[in-house]
Chains A and B, each alone.
Chain A
Amino acid sequence: MADTTEPGSALVDFRVSPDRYRHWRLTVDGPIATLAMDVDEQAGLAPGYRLKLNSYDLGVDIELYDAVQRLRFCHPEVRVVVLTSARDRVFCAGANIGMLATASHSQKVNFCKFTNETRNGIEDATACSGQVYLAAVNGTASGGGYELALACEHIMLVDDRSSTVALPELPLLGVLPGTGGLTRITDKRHVRRDLADSFATRAEGIGGERAVAWRLVDEVVPRDRWAQTVRARAAELAERSARPAGATGITLPELAKSRSGDALGYRYVRAGIDRRRGLAEITVAGPADDPPAGLAELHARGAELWTLAMTRELDDLILDLRTNEPEVGTWVLRTAGSAERVLGYDDLLARNSGDWLAAEIIHYLKRTLKRLDVTSRSILALIEPGSCFAGSLLELALAADRSYQLAGVFTEIDPAAVPAAITVGPMNLGPLPMANGLTRLGTRFLGDDKALAAARDAAGQPLTGADAARLGLVTVAPDDLDWDDEVRIMLEERAGFSPDALTGLEANYRFAGPETMETKIFGRLTAWQNWIFTRPNASGPDGALRRYGTGLRPRFDRKRV
């Protein structure tokens, strides 16, 4: 079977641009963009399946993610994005079943995670950028297709007496709609639970007025009035958007990236892979130059601006390692550079957060850090002299499962160095919330307001190991005599544990505090889905996923677990 993401086979590249899209057509007409799905059947990421009926695989979603990103940075004028299908009578059939049936478990999980992140990104664009997504469901939307529509602010369904929206995963495939469907149906659209139950157990779905009555869609529109109604609705939604008028977007040139064997490199981010120890050593460099003097220069620098460039690189690295390096189970995070400069960039963005571009950059950093939060790898931060864990980059250490800060300096290497320090900044106190809606500091000190206040009061001062440990901002602060041993032993110990148990442990500890739709999707829905995926009733030889399309009925083990 095609295992595109296992080492040794072709690596998945997340870098793409509209001129190379195989599956989407992006057109921009003033404030209204249209993102039309037009999946090339032949262009699946792996051989062995055909992407019929606008079904998708990771490759299709990589393009969607790219389009959503570019709309935010390159098209500030766009206020409404019409998500629709370029096909007649079919909107989207969801994740390709042939792909799901042949993918390894880890591929399925990683794929679902990424699609979830993209759908959350669509909601983030609507909520935070005034770039409102309108689902123009011009044919049947089933499974992941309907889940895509659910990520949009407004859902229109064509009323042609045959098109429906459907979540047929359970009856047809014996699995769940795993990209947020079950969560958004109830928590976002407030479909009554018994109706939601009926809906998700009927393969053919629901269309017409009943779909509206059950709140599955916002409106149904006859075919003959479809195009004009979509236009009208888009125009209305555009009116309500707070997107600025007359703004000019920036370009997002393709990321310069080198990847050879065990080394990945970008301008600010690099990673070395130690396969024997199963770990990636990731270093994020601080800014190479001082922050721009003002907004005009910030815009002029555009994608070259350190925060944006670094975030794009980190985003790509996370996606690359997650997809292409499943056996690299531990990520060691370091930073290098000037903390003052990092704080300078942070300050520039924070002061200009009313500006659309500054805001987009902050939101993008927020989304990228969230990506780190849901990454099923042990994340460990090492804070050494010469590092710049300050403000936005301190979030990396706060996202880590454990952080080690050197107390003082490495006397044998550079006794005159400035001791390792971290600095709390404004970026740690609000603009970069986690999926649970809290800051990483707030999550860290959940239920301990005193500790949170103490950390806040320490903002702006470089904190040495002892201070940071006392404030609970790092896990431990060994001195240079202990450092090598402590770190080595911790890493080796980590590598010895069950990767599954670690993933579960980390996922539980990372999201203390309140539940949100996002945490439910990544925590509850995903965990259930992944359990179901591995059960014989889904993926066993007689399971529903494997039997689908063979004409044979699945045979279930009837025991409830």
Chain B
Amino acid sequence: MTAAPDYAEKIPNNVDLRDDRRLQRALESWQPNFLRWWESMGPALPTRDVYLRTAVNVGRAGWAHFAHVPMRDYRWGIFLAERDPDRRIGFGEHKGEPAWQQVPGEYRADLRRLLVIQGDTEPASVEQQRNLGATAPSLYDLRNLFQVNVEEGRHLWAMVYLLHAHFGREGREEAEQLLLRNSGSAESPRILGAFNEETPDWLSFFMFTYFTDRDGKYQLGTLKESAFDPLSRTCEFMLKEEAHHMMVGTTGVDRVVERTAQLMVEHDTDDAGPCGAVPLAVIQKYLNFHYSVSLDLFGGETSTNVANYYTAGLKGRWAEDRRPDDHRLTDDPMDVDALVDGRPGQIEVPALTGLNTDLRRQYIADCQTGVNRWNKILADAGLPHRLRLPHVAFNRRVGAFAAVNVSPDGELLDDAEWQRRRGGWLPTEVDKTHVRSLMRPVHERGRIAAWLAPPRSGINGKPFDYEYVHLT
């Protein structure tokens, strides 16, 4: 028998786990499977312990819990943002009604589906990144990778908590499935395409955490608006961790660009490749790839499912409360991306059906801030070169533009021309081989790979040369 106080110790939580027998039982039977999954699909590099932050509480202090812990013993907790007892539904046909504390049966299937799709991405990225440890450019970066990994694991816990606590038997079955689908698996792949691509190198990792994790941020942002309060509060807390992942991506690309710019200036060349860095042109290609693949994650330009979710109150818009409209959108029009006479253009549709486009546009604007930041690094180095986001129709596999070939400038191309020129825009085998050749592990404290600039500061006030990870 487990004594009650053990629960907070084993599974830090603020959901009264010790008083909830049903949840205890559900999680107890799920946890061994999770650990098995973590052992077989989680980080492959053996480590003794890692300097990790563990959330033990939702308050500020609960966040600052840093220690060296063996990853297997990481305490994956369950945290929801504090409950606002007066919270009301902010949009859709239930606008103004009290937020739901229980899943209304009528929306159960839809909510479950939303949770499963979100939940499926969390362990997926851990799987995609499992071999990266072997080529980490520094202990600092290795530690960040593992921090992201355990937090994605915790996000899985968060989704599993909701499935267990609110979706009964079927929720438990879905929770099992989340561990049985695997990234890139032929028999049972992850649900979304982008989560079945391996993250083969650290440039990809930084791009992934910048662009693809950012999709997650926007999806979580819409779920944070949900009328289903436990989901809303769960996502609100997850967003805080997600911000850290964005930071890893943003500063990671910063440091790649910084190092490349430095070598370009030092050697007065446009191609930093021979100097042991990632050429700027290759950075742009990786950016093109990750950005366009991530745009696909937002789905088709129009969606009646998403319209229904909105009307039902399940999934809102980014920053719903800051939108100056009626939050019902029953009569509003909006322009969405579309093929018009075979070319990228826009058409008007009912606003409710265009919500995917709305979210994608918020995301695009956010992505642009990163590009601006990297361009400032280039400018500060005195270089005229600039990075940029490709056209929204570039390299798309989902939505209206999947049917056409479009250059990063938005130029329409026939198949032959696309095939001829794509190597100039997307990573080629040569590019990938070069990047891979740079990926030599640096596991000594205080040192860093030659293709990457060191960070401006360490973790939790510790210096860069702190022993963030003890390898076995």
Let me know if A495 and B168 touch, CB within 8 A: no
CA distance in complex: A110, B199 (Å): 63
A13 at the interface (CB under 8 A from B): no
Which residues of the other chain, A, contact B108 by a CB distance below 8 angstroms? 489, 492-493
Q: B168, A482: Cβ atoms under 8 Å?
A: yes
* Per-residue A-contact encoding for B318-360, CB less than 8 Å = 1, 0 else: 0000000000000000000000000000000000000000000
| Residue A442 is within 8 A (CB to CB) of chain B in the complex | no
Within 8 Å by CB of B169, from A482, A488, A493, A494, lies A482
Bound complex: CA A1 to CA B369 (Å): 66
Minimum C-beta distance from A222 to chain B (A): 66
B residues within 8 A CB of A196? Answer: none
Taking a contact as CB atoms closer than 8 A, the residue among A481, A482, A493 that contacts B106 in the complex is: A493
With CB as the reference atom, state the residue of chain B lying closest to A480: B22
Interface assignment of A48: CB less than 8 Å from any CB of chain B: no
Q: A489-B103, A492-B104 are in contact. Are A478 and B168 (CB under 8 A)?
A: yes
B471 at the interface (CB under 8 A from A): no
Q: Out of A478, A482, A489, name the residue touching B105 (CB < 8 Å).
A: A489
B21 touches A494 (CB 8 A): no
Question: Which residues of A470-499 have CB atoms within 8 Å of chain B's CB atoms?
Answer: 476, 478, 481-482, 485-486, 488-496
Q: Is the CB of B21 within 8 A of A481?
A: yes
Contact A496 B168 (CB under 8 A): no
The one of A481, A486, A488, A492 that contacts B25, using a Cβ cutoff of 8 Å: A481
Known: A489-B108, A489-B168, A492-B108. A482 touches B103 (CB 8 A): no
Q: Which residues of A contact B102 (CB under 8 A)?
A: 488
Q: B168–A485 contact, CB under 8 A?
A: yes
Q: Is B168 touching A486 in the complex (CB atoms < 8 A)?
A: yes
Q: How far is the CB of B132 from chain A (nearest CB, A)?
A: 40
Give a binary string over B97-124; 1 marks a CB under 8 Å from any A CB, 0 the rest.
0000011111111000000000000000
Distance of A478 Cα from B104 Cα, bound (Å): 19
Q: Is the CB of A482 within 8 A of B22?
A: yes
CB distance from B249 to the nearest CB of A (A): 39
Chain B residues within an 8 Å CB radius of A490:
105
- Among residues of B, the one whose C-beta sits closest to the C-beta of A486 is B168
**Interface members, chain B 58-112 (any A CB < 8 Å):** 102-109
B169 touches A476 (CB 8 A): yes
Cα A494 to Cα B106 with chains together (Å): 7
> Which residue of A481, A489, A490, A495 has the most chain B CB atoms within 10 A of its CB atom?
A489
How distant is the Cα of A172 from the Cα of B106 in the complex, in angstroms?
A: 44
| B21 A496 Cβ-Cβ under 8 A | no
Contacts of A486 in B (CB 8 A): 168-169
**Does the CB pair A494–B22 fall under 8 Å?**
no
The chain B residue sitting closest to A488, CB to CB, is B105
Residue of A nearest to B22 (CB): A481
Say yes or no: A492 contacts B106, CB within 8 Å.
yes
| Interface-central residue, B103, B105, B106, by most chain A CB under 10 Å | B105
- Complex Cα gap A561–B25 (Å): 56
A residues less than 8 Å from B105 (CB atoms):
488-496
Interface size on A, residues (CB 8 A): 15
Name, among B25, B167, B168, the residue most crowded by chain A CB atoms within 10 Å (CB to CB): B168
CA distance A486 to B167 in the complex (A): 8
Q: Which residue from chain B places its CB closest to the CB of A497 in the assembled complex?
A: B106
CB distance from A216 to the nearest CB of B (A): 51
Q: Chain B nearest CB: distance from A561 CB in Å?
A: 27
| A491 and B103 alpha carbons, distance in the complex (Å) | 12
Tell me the nearest residue of chain A to B166, going by C-beta.
A485
CB distance from B308 to the nearest CB of A (A): 12
Which residue of A has the minimal Cβ distance to B105?
A492
Q: How near does chain B come to A329, taking the closest CB pair, in angstroms?
A: 13
Question: Which residues from B are CB-within-8-Å of A491?
Answer: 105
State in angstroms the CA–CA spacing of A380 and B169 once bound together.
18
Q: How far is the CB of A81 from chain B (nearest CB, A)?
A: 49
In angstroms, Cα B308 to Cα A530, docked, is 31
In the complex, A476→B172 CA distance in Å? 14
The distance from the CB of A55 to the nearest CB of chain B, in whole angstroms, is 43
Once A476-B169, A486-B169 are accepted as A-B contacts, the answer to whether A495 and B106 lie under 8 Å apart by CB is: yes
CA gap between A490 and B169 in the complex, in Å: 11
* List of A residues within 8 angstroms of B104 by Cβ: 492, 496
Assembly CA distance A492 to B105 (angstroms): 4
Chain A nearest CB, measured from B175 CB (Å): 14
Q: Nearest chain B CB to A337's CB is how many angstroms away?
A: 29
Q: Which residue of chain A has its CB nearest to the CB of B102? A: A488
Least CB distance from A149 to B in Å reads 47
Q: Which of B142-187 contact A (CB under 8 A)?
A: 166-169
Residue of A nearest to B312 (CB): A496
With A and B bound together, what is the CA distance between A485 and B167 in angstroms? Answer: 8
Query: In whole angstroms, what is the CA distance A481 to B166 when docked?
Result: 12
Question: Is the pair B109, A493 in contact by a Cβ cutoff of 8 Å?
Answer: yes
Q: How far is the CB of A276 from chain B (nearest CB, A)?
A: 13
Write out the residue numbers on chain B whose beta carbons fall within 8 Å of the beta carbon of A481. Answer: 21-22, 25
A404 → B minimal CB distance (Å): 11
Report the bound CA distance from A476 to B105 in whole Å: 17
Within 8 Å CB of A478, what residues of B? 168-169
In chain A, positions 410-455 with a C-beta closer than 8 Å to chain B are none
Q: How far is the CB of B452 from chain A (nearest CB, A)?
A: 50
0/1 interface trace, chain B 8-30, chain A, CB 8 Å (1 if under): 00000000000001100100000
Q: Beta-carbon contacts of A315-329 to B below 8 Å, as 1s and 0s?
A: 000000000000000
User: How far, in Å, is B360 (CB) from chain A's closest CB?
Assistant: 30
Contacts of B109 in A (CB 8 A): 493
Using a CB-CB cutoff of 8 Å, which residues 95-116 of chain A contact chain B? none
A501 vs B309: C-alpha distance in the bound complex, in angstroms?
21
A496 CA to B169 CA in the complex, in Å?
A: 20
CB distance from A170 to the nearest CB of B (A): 41
Complex Cα–Cα for A481 and B172 (A): 13
Residues of A within 8 A of B168 (CB): 478, 482, 485-486, 489
* Chain B residues near A494 (CB-CB < 8 A): 105
* Contacts A/B (CB < 8 Å), 26 sampled: A476-B169, A478-B169, A481-B22, A481-B25, A482-B22, A482-B169, A486-B168, A486-B169, A488-B102, A488-B105, A489-B105, A489-B108, A489-B168, A491-B105, A492-B105, A492-B106, A492-B108, A493-B106, A493-B108, A493-B109, A494-B105, A495-B105, A496-B104, A496-B105, A496-B106, A496-B107
Given contacts A491-B105, A492-B108, 10 further A-B contacts (CB under 8 A): A478-B168, A481-B25, A486-B169, A488-B102, A492-B104, A492-B106, A493-B105, A493-B108, A494-B105, A495-B106
10 tightest A-B contacts by CB? A492-B105, A496-B106, A481-B22, A493-B105, A489-B105, A486-B168, A485-B168, A489-B108, A482-B168, A493-B108
B: which residues have CB within 8 A of A? Answer: 21-22, 25, 102-109, 166-169
